[in-house]
Amino acid sequence: MITHEQIPTVLDHPVYDTNGNKIGDAKHVFLDDTTGQPEWVSVKTGLFGTSESFVPIHDASIVEDHLEVPYAKDTVKDAPNVDVDAGGHLSEDEEHILYEHYHIEWDAVWQQANRPGEGGWARAGTTGTSVPSGDETDASATAVSGTARPDDAMTRSEERMHVGVERREAGRARLRKYVVTEEVQQTVPVRHEEVRVEREPITDENRDAALSGPEITDAEHEVILHEERPVTQTETVPVERVRMSTEEHTEEETVRGQVRKERIDTEGVDDEGGRDT
């Protein structure tokens, strides 16, 4: 990370990528308004230095007489063009665009910069103050030397809780088919034959039939008896189709956390803003 004291060493000096390729010359260093630490450097690129690209210098380092940034030359040259306002500030939208170009997560920048007592990337939404090179105004030279502009204001910060959701596996459901054997019972009628002996007396109607055989002799007569028995047979038939599907239900869940806030107390000042006597 480049310190405030190293800014004069950076301005108007070459800027190289990690492969040793010269990108251009450093023209301006932009400070974070909250921390006062260097945040961006503008590099003159293109033919005769006609273009100016912005590069994060949080992970940059000074090597001998030049600044080395952890980005390829083409990445820097393709950085989005942003217009710095007359006060030498980058807007929040412009910073956001640059963060996306260099694949720096906006939320991670916000959380790291809002930890009290820690350095790091500028807080999301803050603007950078330009520190020009030494060939401009006297005020610029003062900024280059590392002397901060007098400021008797006190900054009060507070933490904000950002709540999101993550999708994770909560369980599994499956369909499994298996075979069971059950006893079934059904009543059906069955028939069978039984022998019944019938005797009839000799009458004039049956006398001729009774005397048609031999008078005295041995004889047999056989009758075949029949009966029905239950017979079972099974067949497989489809009875239903079963499938699984999912549906989402939305529930309200309260998330609680702790955030820290700074408070500013006054001493020697009455409630109306005057000096307490």
Tokens 């310190």, residue? 3
- Contacts (Cβ under 8 Å, ≥6 apart) of 99: 105, 106, 109
β-pair partners for 45: 51
β-pair partners for 19: none
Q: What are the extents of the domains in the chain?
A: 4-143
pLDDT digit string, tens, across residues 222-250:
999 999 999 999 999 999 999 999 999 99
pLDDT digit string, tens, across residues 144-200:
333 344 557 888 889 888 888 888 898 999 999 999 999 999 999 999 999 999 898
β-pair partners for 53: 43
Mean residue pLDDT of the chain comes to: 79
Calculate mean pLDDT across residues 256-265: 90
Calpha distance 20→70 (Å, rounded): 11
Residue 141 reports pLDDT greater than 50? no
Integer-rounded Cα radius of gyration of the chain? 50
Per-residue model confidence (pLDDT) at position 111: 58
CATH 3.10.580.10 corresponds to the domain 4-143: no
Q: Which of 49-63, 199-213, 255-269 has the lowest mean pLDDT?
A: 49-63
Calculate mean pLDDT across residues 107-134: 49
CB 49 within 8 A of CB 24: yes
Calculate mean pLDDT across residues 89-108: 80
Highest mean pLDDT among 36-50, 54-68, 263-277: 54-68
